[in-house]
Amino acid sequence: MEINVNPKERLMFNAFLLMFILHTAQTGVGIAGLPRIIYMEANRDAWISVIIAGILVSFVLFLMVKTLETYDSADLYGIHMDVYGKWISKGMNFLYILFYLGVTYVILMNYIEMVQAWIFPRMPTWLLMGLLLFLLVYAVLGGIRVVVGIAFLGLILAFWLLFMIYTPVKFMDFNHLLPVMTSSPKELMMGAYKTSFTIIGFDLVLFVYPYIKEKKKVLKYALIGTGYSTFLFTLVTVVSIGFFSEDALLKTIWPVLSMFKILRIPNLERFEFIAVSFWMLVILPNICLYFWVATRGMKRVFHFSQKKAIYLFAATLWILSLFVHERITMNTITDKVGTASFFLSFMYPALLFILVKLKHIGNRKKGVDL
């Protein structure tokens, strides 16, 4: 496996699109229940935990980009090859392939649960999974430029949902947010930790970097994209805390969707039906990006046809959907993947940055170019 990736010119895209890639990768099904999860840890200071998580994302993202800049045009799979050698790198890369496949599965299953709870309670999971996988496979077969295009259009088409938060704001009680800083540092950090699964996606810069034309602008646009995500997460958390009472927020599984219940549009009684349906445009870029990374890894690491990997992984996800029937089981799986995301997306890149810099220094002393 080559360390550096040299994609064809027609597959490359402008750096500003990285804003859309990272934001859509971060903003998915998790944001619907994020305020409740953080509130359970940090109470009324939950919004501060989101900001802490956003600052941590910016720091880790800086380390990631500096790691990538050490090479000409490498992705994480190639960096592992350079740092660990042939055999250990395969194990590390396979771990990431399984991780991103697991993230895709969790997003799909949580969205299916949302659809079943709000719109089609009797529709079987396997049918909904099959329909979503059909869209997923069709999109990813188009390649990286199609996936990036979906990320761009997904944000543009779903952007109007942001303005729907205006109505709940009018019914907020700002006393629910006071007094500020009553939570302990431990509670705030636990809240930031619980944000980790929702806010992941910024690490995809490690995989799309070779396909970006203006590599010197990567850090700027990456920080803009993740900064907007942090703003959005903070906004919905603040509004949710102010809108719900303490007991109501703790008992509401998807507080962001529940706030849409108060919206009233002429000739439309249940606006949340529209919101849940449109939410597919929010999660579609999510699953396409993660699924592309997993299938691309099979081609890069094991020289396995990416097209065959797409069909194989899609069949695997569909089969796995047949074995989960209870919410508590899905919650356990989500928690496990969330824990893995904290280590693989937040902790490990810092270690990798140190290893790459040490190897680079060693190679420079030996007169070896990366």
Residue 205: both structure tokens together: 């810069």
Sequence-distant (≥ 6) Cβ neighbours of residue 205 within 8 angstroms: 18, 22, 61, 64, 65, 68, 218, 222
Q: What angle is formed at CA 214 by the lines to CA 208 and CA 217, rounded to 5 degrees?
A: 90
Overall size of the chain counted in residues: 370
Residue 269's SS3 state is: coil
What are the pLDDT digits (tens) for 36-79? Answer: 999 999 888 999 999 999 999 999 999 999 999 999 889 999 99
Helix, strand, coil content of the chain in percent (nearest 5): 80, 0, 20
Give Cα separations from 78 to 217, 313, 346 (angstroms).
Answer: 21, 22, 19
Q: What angle is formed at CA 71 by the lines to CA 298 and CA 365, rounded to 5 degrees?
A: 125
H-state helical runs in 171-305: 185-194, 196-199, 205-208, 218-243, 246-251, 255-259, 271-302
Residue 48: both structure tokens together: 């501060």
Taking all residues of the chain, what is their mean pLDDT, rounded to a whole number? 89
Tell whether the model's pLDDT for residue 238 goes beyond 80.
Answer: yes
Cα separation, 280 vs 85, whole angstroms: 40
Q: Among candidates 253, 288, 258, 251, which has minimal Cα distance to 272?
A: 258
pLDDT > 70 fraction of the chain, expressed in percent and rounded: 96
Higher pLDDT, 139 or 260: 139
Cα separation, 278 vs 154, whole angstroms: 10
Tell whether the model's pLDDT for residue 368 goes beyond 60.
Answer: no
Record the pTM: 0.92
**Residue 131: how many other CB atoms lie within 10 Å:** 13
What are the pLDDT digits (tens) for 277-329? Answer: 888 888 999 999 999 999 999 999 999 999 999 999 999 999 999 988 787 88
Tell whether the model's pLDDT for residue 268 goes beyond 70.
Answer: no
CB 15 within 8 A of CB 150: no
Q: For residue 370, count CB atoms less than 10 angstroms from its CB and return exposed for 0-12, middle for 13-18, buried for 19 or more.
A: middle
Angle formed by the axes of helices 327-341 and 86-118, nearest 10°:
140
What are the pLDDT digits (tens) for 176-233? Answer: 888 888 889 999 999 999 888 788 899 999 999 999 999 999 999 999 999 999 999 9
Cα separation, 38 vs 31, whole angstroms: 11
Tell whether the model's pLDDT for residue 369 goes beyond 60.
Answer: no
Q: Among candidates 54, 43, 103, 41, which has minimal Cα distance to 294?
A: 103
pLDDT of residue 80: 94
Tally of CA atoms within 13 A in the half-sphere of 239 that contains its CB: 26
pLDDT of residue 198: 84
Cα separation, 314 vs 129, whole angstroms: 10
Place of tokens 């706030």: 259
Tell whether the model's pLDDT for residue 365 goes beyond 80.
Answer: no
pLDDT of residue 266: 65
Cα separation, 38 vs 35, whole angstroms: 5
Cα separation, 33 vs 43, whole angstroms: 15
The stretch 153-175 carries a mean pLDDT of 82
Cα separation, 304 vs 216, whole angstroms: 32
**Residue 100: how many other CB atoms lie within 10 Å:** 26
pLDDT of residue 348: 94
